[in-house]
A and B are shown apart, each in its own frame.
Chain A
Amino acid sequence: MITESLVLSAILFVIGTFGVLVRRNAIIMFLCIELQLNAVNLSLVAFSRMWGIEGQLFVFFVMTVAAAEAAVGLAIIISIFRHYETVNVDSFNLLKW
Chain B
Amino acid sequence: MELDFSRQLHFFWALLPEIILCVWGMAVLVAGVSGRHRKGAATEGGDPSFGGAADLGWLALAGVLLAGMANGWLYGVDEVGRDSMVALDGFRLFANWIFLVAAALSILVSFTYVYRQRLQAGEFFGLILLSTAGMMFMAGSRDLIVVFLGLEVMSIAVYALTAFNRRDRKSAEAGLKYFLLGAFSTGFFLYGIALLYGATGSTNVAEIGRVVASGTAPAALLTAGIAFLTVGFGFKVSAVPFHMWTPDVYEGAPAPVTAFMSAAVKAAAFIAFMRVFMVALDGAYDSWYPIVWWLAAVTMVIANVIALVQSNVKRMLAYSSIAHAGYLLVAVTASNETAAAAMLFYLLVYTVMNIGAFAVVISVAHQGEERLQVEDYAGFGWAQPAMGVVFTVFLLSLAGFPGTGGFMGKIYLLQGAADAQLWYLSVVLVLTTIASYWYYLRLAWFMWMKRQISDDQHDLVIVPLPMRVALMVAAVVVIYTGIFPAPALEFARSSVEGLGALSGSMLGLGQ
Contact = CB atoms under 8 A, between A and B. Distances in A.
Interface of A: 6, 13, 16-17, 20, 26, 29-30, 33, 36-37, 39-40, 43-44, 46-47, 50-52, 54-55, 57-58, 61-62, 65, 68-69, 72-73, 75-77, 79-80, 82-84, 89, 92, 94-97
Interface residues of B, number: 38
Given A47-B194, A58-B145, 18 more contacts: A20-B184, A29-B180, A30-B180, A33-B184, A36-B187, A51-B198, A51-B202, A57-B145, A58-B193, A58-B197, A58-B203, A69-B156, A76-B175, A79-B166, A79-B175, A80-B176, A97-B173, A97-B248
Contact of B191 (A26, A33, A40): A40
A24 to B, nearest CB: 11
B233 to A, nearest CB: 16
A97 B177 contact: yes
A92 B187 contact: no
Nearest to A87: B176
Main secondary structure of the interface of B (DSSP, over half): helix
Nearest to B164: A79
B194 A73 contact: no
Interface in B136-186: 145, 148-149, 152, 156, 159-160, 163, 166, 169-170, 172-177, 179-180, 183-184, 186
A91 B187 CA distance: 25
Contacts of B197: 44, 47, 51, 54-55, 58
B241 interface: no
B83 interface: no
Contacts of B201: 50-52
B190 interface: yes
A50 B198 contact: yes
A1 B195 CA distance: 17
Contacts of B198: 6, 43, 46-47, 50-51
B256 interface: no
A58 B160 CA distance: 25
B252 interface: yes
B180 A95 contact: no
B194 A40 contact: yes
Contacts of B249: 95
Main secondary structure of the interface of A (DSSP, over half): helix
B252 A95 contact: yes
Contact of B149 (A65, A72, A75): A65
25 contacts: A20-B180, A29-B180, A33-B180, A33-B184, A36-B190, A36-B191, A43-B198, A44-B194, A44-B197, A47-B198, A50-B198, A51-B197, A51-B202, A52-B201, A55-B197, A58-B145, A58-B197, A58-B203, A69-B156, A72-B156, A76-B172, A76-B175, A80-B163, A80-B173, A83-B172
A26 B179 CA distance: 10
10 shortest interchain CB distances as A-B pairs: A36-B187, A95-B248, A47-B198, A51-B201, A80-B172, A65-B152, A40-B190, A33-B183, A76-B175, A92-B173
B251 interface: yes
A13 B224 CA distance: 14
Contacts of B177: 92, 95, 97
A39 B228 CA distance: 14
Contacts of A30: 180, 183
B196 to A, nearest CB: 10
A80 B166 CA distance: 9
Given A30-B180, A54-B203, A58-B197, A37 B187 contact: yes
Contacts of A52: 201
B247 to A, nearest CB: 8
A33 B187 contact: yes
A77 B103 CA distance: 27
